Amino acid sequence: MANIRTLGEFIVEKQHDFPHASGELSSLLGSIKLAAKIVNREINKAGLVDITGAAGDQNIQGEDQQKLDVYANEKFKAALEARDQVCGIASEEEDNAVGFNKPLNLNAKYVVLMDPLDGSSNIDVNVSVGTIFSIYRRISPVGSPPTEEDFLQPGSQQVAAGYVIYGSSTMLVYTTGNGVHGFTYDPSLGSFCLSHENMTIPQDGVIYSINEGNYIRFPMGVKKYIKFCQEAVPEEKRPYTSRYIGSLVADFHRNLLKGGIYLYPSTASYPNGKLRLLYECNPMAFLIEQAGGKATDGFQRILDISPTELHQRVPFFVGSTNMVEKVEGFLREYPDE
């Protein structure tokens, strides 16, 4: 095949966008690529080995950890520690941030936050799952252990973010603040190859993604928006199509390519929302803005939120700009009493 550009080659080509990184960011993304290939291998044989189902423990959010959650967390953590560009990680599967104490790691400039396996409960039924990652420059002194403040930075300070989707094909999608690029894994080559350069999301879409089973618990503004989506207005291409997979990465990826909106509002059970700001919302918000879309908590830009805790939750509305602004309008018009 002519003109194949692998992820490694593409990153090297784009290094001029980050002269201060001296190749370190490229090596860090290489670590993520390696761990993704290992996790992809296990996911593809999940039905053949004893790696599906619950691990028997709960994470700090009180959610049952799946065996693949634990496996993916350990593989990404080990890959990131091995390359010496990362001084520590924070993960949805870890109670606290984890510092890497080898001398070379203490001198590293970056921290990584991640959801190692988003949607892992879908593994048993062969539905797409993913990995989400977010990269920041540390703010603590180089040479010392990382501090919690390194991880509690607003999303606007991200230097890179992305996700891996393990589906009918495996793709890695990332941004370093200069557009969004997607790479499809070719198992015959063992490489991620450029397949989607400069990905952009349409300003409008006809897909809305939300768990409508929680409808009765939604804020009034969200209920009004859902009814708006369901109204028959042919000249506006309504009613819209409802598509909800239940894996954030899968829903986000489809809407990025086709145009649409993903909604996870506050509910009675989760008054602050359910999705994690640091591991899910910030990286997806960075990606969507780089693709020409929008991400808010319904009232403010996600990337402007100053985190106060590692596992902080927020409501999340992300996707095509006009659709996100429409739901924001309904939330302003119908504030809950």
57 is in an annotated binding site: no
Is 263 a known ligand-binding residue? yes
**For residues 95 and 74, is the Cβ–Cβ distance under 8 A?**
no
- The answer on whether 163 is annotated among ligand-binding residues is no
Q: Is 92 annotated as a binding residue?
A: yes
Annotated binding-site residue? 336: no
* Among 105, 122, 159, CA closest to 137: 159
Q: What's the CA gap between 65 and 257, in Å, rounded?
A: 30
Q: 117: annotated binding-site residue?
A: yes
Is there a binding annotation on residue 136? no
Q: Where are the alpha helices (DSSP H) in 83-203?
A: 103-106, 148-151
Residue 118 assigned to a binding site = yes
In the structure encoding, which two tokens stand for residue 143, read together? 């040479």
Helix (H) or strand (E) holding 322: helix 321-333
| Residue 309 assigned as binding residue | no
The single residue listed with the structure tokens 């180089």 is 142
Task: Locate 320 and state its tokens.
Answer: 């095509």
Question: How would you label 189-221 residue by residue, b for 16+ Cβ within 10 Å and e otherwise?
Answer: eebbbbbeeebebbebbbbbbbeeebeeebbeb
The answer to whether 269 is a known ligand-binding residue is no
Q: Is 124 annotated as a binding residue?
A: no
264: annotated binding-site residue?
yes
- List binding-site positions for substrate: 118-121, 211, 244, 262-264, 274
- List binding-site positions: 92, 115, 117-121, 211, 244, 262-264, 274, 280
- List binding-site positions for Mg(2+): 92, 115, 117-118, 280
